[in-house]
Amino acid sequence: MDENPGLSEEYRMASPWPLFVALGLPIAEVGILFGLVPLAVGGLVLFCGAIAGILREAEYAASGWRALAALSLVIAGGGLALLYADGATESDLVVRAYSMVGAGVLMFVGGVGGELFARDAEPAI
């Protein structure tokens, strides 16, 4: 590969987040499908965290922390839906439901905490 700039190479072309979106999704999928709590929670945190990072980087969200908190509500909502579905089926969905709710709570705390405490570490607007 020629290391010299060509025509379309004159703006910044790197982002750390896509790799972790792509890692978080399968880890979360495996964790939720097989009811492995650490993988489910960790994968969801990685997945949503990286999405929040992308949203901030692409300036779709003013703050990555707030984006994370918003995503946490979706995940917790999904967990609650699973909890509701658990009553309707013979399958055991409780562990999966709680790991999603748990991941949601973790991310919400992280998002709100980050918004309150970490904001000033970033360059002022």
Partner 1 sequence: MEITGQLLLTVLMGAFLLGVAAFLARVEEWRSYTPLGAGGGAVGESGYGHAEKPAGLIRWFTTVDHKDIGLLYGAYATIAFVVGGLMVMLMRAELTTPATDVLGSATFYNSLLTSHGITMLFLFGTPIIAAFANYLVPLIIGADDMAFPRINAIAFWLLPPAALLIWAGFFPLPDVLPAQTAWTMYAPLSAGVGNGTQANVGVDLMLLGLHLSGVSATMGAINFIATIFTERAEEVSWANLDIFSWTILTQSGLILFAFPLLGSALVMLLLDRNFGTTFFAVEGGGPILWQHLFWFFGHPEVYILVLPPMGIISYVLPRFAGRKLFGFKFVVYSTLAIGVLSFGVWAHHMFSTGIDPRLRASFMAVSLAIAIPSAVKTFNWITTMWNGKIRLTTPMLFCIGFVSNFVIGGVTGVFLASIPVDLVLHDTYYVVGHFHYIVMGAITFAGMAGIYYWFPLVTGRWYQRSLAKAHFWLWMIGTNITFFAMVLLGYGGMPRRYATYLPQFATLHQVATLGAFMLFVGGIIWIYNVFVSWMEGARVESGDPWRLEATNLNTAEWDWFDTKRETSLAATDGGEDVQTDGGQESQRDS
CB of 77: closest distance to partner 1 in angstroms?
19
Q: In this structure, what token pair is assigned to residue 52?
A: 């929040």
| Beta-carbon-side half-sphere exposure of residue 116 (alpha carbons within 13 Å) | 7
Q: Is 109 in the site for partner 1 (CB under 8 A)?
A: no
**Closest to partner 1 by CB, 16 or 113:** 16
Could you identify the residue written with the tokens 């025509």? Answer: 7
Contact residues for 45 (Cβ-Cβ < 8 A; gap 6+): 24, 103, 106, 107, 110
Q: Is 23 in the site for partner 1 (CB under 8 A)?
A: yes
For 59, left (φ over 0), alpha (ψ -120 to 50), or beta? left
Site string for partner 1, 54-83 (x = CB under 8 A): x--xxx------------------------
Q: Which stretch binds partner 1 (CB under 8 A): 42-50, 67-75, 97-105, 108-116?
A: 42-50
CB of 119: closest distance to partner 1 in angstroms?
15
**Closest to partner 1 by CB, 37 or 112:** 37
For 114, left (φ over 0), alpha (ψ -120 to 50), or beta? alpha
Contact residues for partner 1 (CB under 8 A)? 1-23, 25-27, 29-30, 33-34, 36-39, 41-42, 45-46, 53-54, 57-59, 89-91, 93
